[in-house]
Amino acid sequence: MKRTIAYLSLLFIVGALLYIANPNYGLKFGPGGEDWLKYRYTDNYYIEHGVEEVGGTNIVTDIVFDYRGYDTIGEATVLFTAIAGAIALLRPWRGDGK
């Protein structure tokens, strides 16, 4: 019973995602021409001003380390946390080491 409901809701979610994947009323894939400036204005700004504002010729690193550098600190923290957590959980049990 529970499993049936779970599969049905999964089906519903997939259906909803497929529905909005239709470019006529949902997400546009590979927007070009006029759509480029309408949907990807932020990306356009990065491409146009990235080199002069940041100084790197690689736009991705310009974004990841300058415009959105704070997110990168966050990602580094996620890794640090994951490592700290893994080491903490894999330590010997209390009283095992002696």
List interacting residues with another protein (CB under 8 A). Answer: 16-17, 19-20, 25-28, 38-43, 45-46, 49, 53, 66-71, 73-75, 77-78, 80-82, 84-94, 96
Cβ 57 to another protein shortest distance, Å: 18
Smallest distance, another protein to C-beta of residue 34, A = 13
Residue 26 or residue 58: which is nearer to another protein going by CB? 26
Return the structure tokens found at 54.
């940041």
In angstroms, what is the minimal distance from the CB of 31 to another protein? 9
Angle subtended at Cα 31 by Cα 30 and Cα 36, rounded to the nearest 5 degrees: 140
Buried b / exposed e along 35-67 (16+ C-beta atoms within 10 A): eeeeeeeeeeebeeebeeebeeeeeeebbeeeb
